[in-house]
Amino acid sequence: MIQSDEGAVSPDEKDVKRSTTSTPENGLSQILRLVLQELNLFYSRDVNGVCLLYDLLHSPWLRALLKVYDCLQEFKQRKLVPATPHAQMLSYEVVELLHASPSSPEIQELRQILQAPHFKALLSAHDTVAQKDFEPPLPPLPDNIPESEEAMKIVCLVKNQQPLGATIKRHEMTGDILVARVIHGGLAERSGLLYAGDKLVEVNGVSVEGLDPEQVIHILAMSRGTIMFKVVPVSDPPVNNQKMEDPTIPCADAGLPFQKGDILQIVDRNDALWWQARKISDLGTCAGLIPSNHLMKRKQREFWWSQPYQPHTHLKSTTYKEEFVGCDQKFFIAGFRRSMRLCRRKSHLSQRRAGACCAGSCCSAVGAPYEEVTRYQRRPSDKHRLIVLVGPSGVGVNELRRQLIELNPNHFQSAVPHTTRSKKSYEMDGREYHYVSKETFESLMYSHRMLEYGEYKGHLYGTSVDAVQAVLDEGKICVMDLEPQGIQVARTQELKPYVIFIKPSNMSCMKQSRKNAKIITDYFVDMKFKDEDLQEMEDLAQKMETQFGQFFDHVIVNDELQEACAQLLSAVQKAQTEPQWVPATWVSYDPES
């Protein structure tokens, strides 16, 4: 509608008066308005073509476009780069406003314009140009903020189908929505604009005052592309001794899934309960939350106490025979004696029955849920690493050990165990066993020189650190089998054990491969495997993996014997020649190395 050039002030004049305070004087909208004022004077005089020109320039879409352009210019002058997000925000804002007041036909028209594909295309073209000029935004502060007011900053983050990498929470006392943490390596951290403790004021133009964190998260989740935050920056560095009553993760999306035994790079351990870490196998990704040492210990203790008592079942036995040595052996290999193996099993049983934790199992695991590790490669001048084989009874640990040693007895050797029983006529001290007095044995036990020990038929049996060292000192590779409870005892800088878990394959394969195999029991030597024995083996293997899996450097499924043996040989060689993760305490810093 065109007003008369005389009399009442035209709506355009009103606009001019109103807008001069807020838009730059040389803004295109301002110029357009002045032009329209001029044209208005000639409109009623019907000067040739003026009406057409006036109508064209007066169309709402042009005014809307120039308004957006002017706002962009203003944002640019305030150095709020990149300007693109602001343009998008502005158009979203206008559309939102128009939704709220859909009455007049002009507003309807404006809404259609802003939502029209060509307008979006125009913005998108601008986006592309602006993206090229992108510089990390400076933390901008409006010039005209009164000193008494909190200084705010506007932060724009472009969310390219990746999480923002920040979590929020509500302040218990003030109810403010705060940035709870900024995830290392995430979008927010890389921008350098958001810090833990920043107070959120607006998200995408929506005030967060009175909103629940979930509502804010919803707004964020619904946002595409650029997200604009208005924040009051935290005055002090982020607070690290944050107290959380809730034992669950503060933000499930920010969690880092990991398993026991995974190698993690800890990038932030400031929080008492939740650390930030990355998997070493995936260092390119942004960090995630993991429970802190403290929280892990708490969880482990809770879990430990919640575990029901689980008695260990033994293989049933019928006939008793004296201990034996494999008669088909071409040469003598120590440490395969039946008494020693049964003693080991019995000591394992008694530990479980007593409900106590041996030094190497859950107690120490509770003490140190995480272990600092480093890469270690054995130098040719170093002693060999001890090879420890672990597995459920009957899986083939001794068979594999025997086969490995038979491959090259000059290179691989077992440690000679100690016993307090008396030497038999056909035995030799230091070959089958080291025959020692009870006092000597006990003094080795109490001075922690026994890797494992137990009692069988009233006699003590065990393998000492010194017996292992004796093999290593000869330049050989010592291969021994241990109950998993003994792993922790062996894990010393001195022995640097490489632990290989021997695992049964599935039941149907085991039934097939173990058709002719024999198990060792207390009383019956040539007993064949029954289905329940195989089932027990499988269950026990699972338990071992769950409880001790973090200590296993390598896992071999013992299905086909020769294949498993080849895998064992290859793993043993790698352990001695290739870099491996070991506890950091095993590697002392040597500046000359």
Sites of contact with ligand ATP (CB under 6 A): 341, 391, 393-399, 513-514, 517-520, 558, 561, 564
Amino acid identity at 516:
N
Q: For ligand ATP, give the closer residue by CB, 206 or 561.
A: 561
Q: For ligand ATP, give the closer residue by CB, 94 or 397.
A: 397
Shortest gap between Cβ of 354 and ligand ATP (angstroms)?
21
Describe the crossing of helices 117-132 and 60-77 by its angle, rounded to 10 degrees: 20
Cα(54)–Cα(37) distance, integer angstroms = 9
Q: For ligand ATP, give the closer residue by CB, 23 or 513.
A: 513
Q: For ligand ATP, give the closer residue by CB, 199 or 344.
A: 344
Shortest gap between Cβ of 518 and ligand ATP (angstroms)?
4
How far is CA 175 from its chain centroid?
A: 31
The conformation of residue 278, written as its DSSP 8-state character, comes to: E
- Under 8 Å between Cβ of 162 and 178: no
Q: Please enumerate in sequence order all residues whose Cβ is within 8 A of that of 386, keeping only pairs 6 or more positions apart, or say none.
A: 468, 472, 478, 480, 490, 495, 496, 497, 498
Shortest gap between Cβ of 415 and ligand ATP (angstroms)?
16
Shortest gap between Cβ of 340 and ligand ATP (angstroms)?
9
Q: For ligand ATP, give the closer residue by CB, 517 or 587.
A: 517
- Under 8 Å between Cβ of 377 and 580: yes
Shortest gap between Cβ of 421 and ligand ATP (angstroms)?
19
- Under 8 Å between Cβ of 486 and 496: no
Q: For ligand ATP, give the closer residue by CB, 423 or 511.
A: 511
Q: For ligand ATP, give the closer residue by CB, 189 or 538.
A: 538
Shortest gap between Cβ of 474 and ligand ATP (angstroms)?
24
Query: Do β-strands 264-268 and 225-232 pair in parallel, antiparallel, or remain unpaired?
Result: unpaired
Buried b / exposed e along 9-41 (16+ C-beta atoms within 10 A): ebebeeebeeeeeebeeebbbbebbeebeebbe
Nearest residue by C-beta to ligand ATP?
Answer: 396
Shortest gap between Cβ of 515 and ligand ATP (angstroms)?
8
- Under 8 Å between Cβ of 422 and 514: no
Q: For ligand ATP, give the closer residue by CB, 59 or 506.
A: 506
Cα(242)–Cα(275) distance, integer angstroms = 12
Cα(84)–Cα(127) distance, integer angstroms = 5
Shortest gap between Cβ of 513 and ligand ATP (angstroms)?
4
